[in-house]
Chains A and B, each alone.
Chain A
């Protein structure tokens, strides 16, 4: 199985959207502030639908928000 980890640029995108707060982003996609904080910190991976919603809020493609970093086996 291919190993990897998901990273995201939500913090940067929030900054570029007029320092949007986690609570505001959460409100717009129906999540709590704590869930946004968990996603941002990489402690929770959202569903595909939620990921699309986040990308839609920032008006960017999905891969500008989430990246999958493949672990190369030695």
Chain B
């Protein structure tokens, strides 16, 4: 498995493991009724972000040590083509999400709902990006 594919798997898994529970918690719990919803929200987001950074940091160190030579190599043309494809796919998800969040949601929701919806669309775009990377490498393996 190429080093770039391994890092894409790592990023994908890190996002699912951290932001999966984050959005599940938000969907289940009625935060606005709590006495300090902002503090709770920020705390939850901080923990999620820190755990994700830890997983990515440790994972990248481990992968880099296991394939030092490949990790140092610049992207070749196939890697660049895969990156271009994945970024363009993710862009459509992100732009559609931002239109929904920025143009539609302000008429129906406010506060943390909008922030979390925007965050969800960013994560969804990232999942699409890494998903396309993994899929492309698997298809050409």
Q: A residues within 8 Å of B by Cβ?
A: 26, 30-32, 34-35, 37-38, 43-44, 46-47, 50
Contacts and interface: CB of A to CB of B under 8 A. Distances in A.
B76 A32 contact: yes
Interface of B: 1-3, 70, 73-74, 76-79, 137, 139-141
A44 B74 CA distance: 18
Contact of B140 (A31, A38, A50): A38
Contacts of B74: 30
A43 B106 CA distance: 47
Contacts of B1: 34
Q: Which 3 A-B pairs have the closest CB atoms?
A: A34-B2, A43-B140, A31-B76
A32 B2 contact: yes
A71 to B, nearest CB: 22
B139 A35 contact: no
B141 A35 contact: no
Given A32-B2, A32-B70, A46 B77 contact: yes
A61 to B, nearest CB: 22
Nearest to B5: A34
A32 B79 contact: yes
B73 A44 contact: no
A44 B140 contact: yes
Nearest to B136: A44
